[in-house]
């Protein structure tokens, strides 16, 4: 990740978060906008693109704690999980990495989406730390499936031999003050999913 921090040339220690590469070699990386671990007041973040030639620029702003980021299977759409916006936001992707037609892909109510992945039926799985679950949603926000666990879900990815194993990264979460305290509580959990992986990552 250091190469992207250096390459983007932003001098204010941006809080780089997640990354995805589209079918044309455009690398999208999101930036939280504030120092959550340091106790800063929330403010909106941004999305940047690094082109195959090494050039970089900001392509979206006003995203509230952008977290999981993915590209649809046809390469046309970037999806960003806004943890503080309680939604999944979609953008159309141009060949040069520009983003347009910003829209709410799914309003998630009080959910705080973190890591995301897509399946070949066009649905998105998102991990939700405070609600201790992973949820599969369709465009528009209809909940298709929920996997409840006993700790916060930080990330999820479909994989395995047929792409239908949902891997969930989960850990106990008591807020930033509890980081590094007590016994390690991280787990990798699995769930048999209805549809296989699609898109990127």
Its pTM stands at 0.89
Residue 92 has pLDDT above 60, yes or no: yes
SS (H, E, C) 119-166: ECCCCEEEEECCCCEEEEECCCCCEEEEEECCCEEEEEEEECCCCCEE
Q: What is the pLDDT of residues 178-200, one digit of tens each?
A: 555 667 678 999 999 999 999 99
Strands (E), the chain: 16-21, 27-31, 45-50, 56-63, 66-71, 77-82, 87-93, 99-107, 113-119, 124-128, 133-137, 143-148, 152-159, 165-171, 187-192, 197-198
Instruction: Quote the CA–CA distance of 68 and 18 in Å, as a whole number.
Output: 6
2-198 folds as Neuraminidase (2.120.10)
pLDDT band at 4 (very low <50, low <70, confident <90, very high): very low
Domain range list for the chain: 2-198
CB 47 within 8 A of CB 65: no
Helix (H) or strand (E) holding 2: helix 2-8
Instruction: Quote the CA–CA distance of 20 and 25 in Å, as a whole number.
Output: 10
DSSP state letter for 194: S
| pLDDT confidence of residue 3 | 36
Residue 24 has pLDDT above 60, yes or no: yes
């Amino acid at each position: 990740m250091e190469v992207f921090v250096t390459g983007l040339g932003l001098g204010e220690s941006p809080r780089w978060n997640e990354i995805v590469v589209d079918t044309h070699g455009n690398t999208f990386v999101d930036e939280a906008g504030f120092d959550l671990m340091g106790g800063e007041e929330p403010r909106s973040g941004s999305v940047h693109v690094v082109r195959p030639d090494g050039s970089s620029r900001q392509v979206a702003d006003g995203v509230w704690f952008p977290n999981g980021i993915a590209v649809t299977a046809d390469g046309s759409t970037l999806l960003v999980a806004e943890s503080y916006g309680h939604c999944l936001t979609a953008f159309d992707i141009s060949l040069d990495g520009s983003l347009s037609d910003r829209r709410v892909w799914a309003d998630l109510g009080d959910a705080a989406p973190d890591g995301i992945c897509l399946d070949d039926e066009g649905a998105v799985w998102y991990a939700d730390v405070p609600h201790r679950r992973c949820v599969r949603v369709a465009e528009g926000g209809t909940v298709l499936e929920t996997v409840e666990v006993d700790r916060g879900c930080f990330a999820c990815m479909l994989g395995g031999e047929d792409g239908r194993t949902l891997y969930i990264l989960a850990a106990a979460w008591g807020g930033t003050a509890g980081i590094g305290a007590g016994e390690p509580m991280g787990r990798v959990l699995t769930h048999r999913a209805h549809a296989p992986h699609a898109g990127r990552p």
